[in-house]
Structures are given as structure tokens and as C-alpha cells.
Amino acid sequence: MARVELQLYVAGEGLPSRVAIANWAKICDDDLEDECDVEVIDVDKHPPSLVSESFLATPMLVRRLPLPVHRVIGDLSDGDAVLAGLGLARRAEGGP
């Protein structure tokens, strides 16, 4: 699988941001292992005018590479929906 590059946009350090970060970490641990790189961007520290992303809402996870770009908005609690929204597949059970 090609390396996946992602950006997770959050707003501050409140509960929604912490939940989205924790949920994404679980998805990575359970399904993606070392196949992706994620950059967490706090829009409170880097306002949208300073970032090259079209904001819909936060938390928002953006798959930059491989193309095409995909976006998922929300707390990332539904791992199947997040992976489907990103165009990624779950690792096979018992797989490497």
C-alpha cells in the first residue's frame, strides 16, 4: 500500500479535539499500523487564513495522499465510516 498522508484539523484542546485524536490513534493502531503519517493542526493556533485548507468544520481529517483528497468530519468514532470516507480499507483479521 502506498504511504498515506493525513492532516487532522482540531480546534483547541477541548473534549471534541481530544476525542477525535484518541479515536484516530485507535484506528491507526488497529487498522493502519505504520502505513500513514498524520499531522495534527490546531486551527486556534493556525487560523484557517494561514492554512491552505477549505474548512467545513472541526474536527476534520483530510487524506492528502494518495490523491484524490478525501475529507471526514466528526469525532472519528466510527472506524469503518472513517476508513471508507478516506478511501482506505481495514487490515485483514489476523493479517500482518
Q: What is the pTM of this model?
A: 0.83
4-86 domain in CATH 1.10.599.10? no
Output the pLDDT for position 30.
Answer: 85
Residue-wise pLDDT tens digits, 29-63: 888 877 788 899 898 887 665 556 566 788 999 99
Is the pLDDT confidence value at 15 over 50?
yes
Preceding omega of 96 cis (within 30 degrees of 0) = no
Sheet of 70-73: strand order equals 36-42, 4-10, 60-65, 70-73
Q: Where do the structural domains in the chain lie, given as residue ranges?
A: 4-86
Beta bridge partners of 63: 6, 70
Report the C-alpha gap between 76 and 87 in whole angstroms: 14
pLDDT band at 95 (very low <50, low <70, confident <90, very high): very low
pLDDT value at position 94?
47
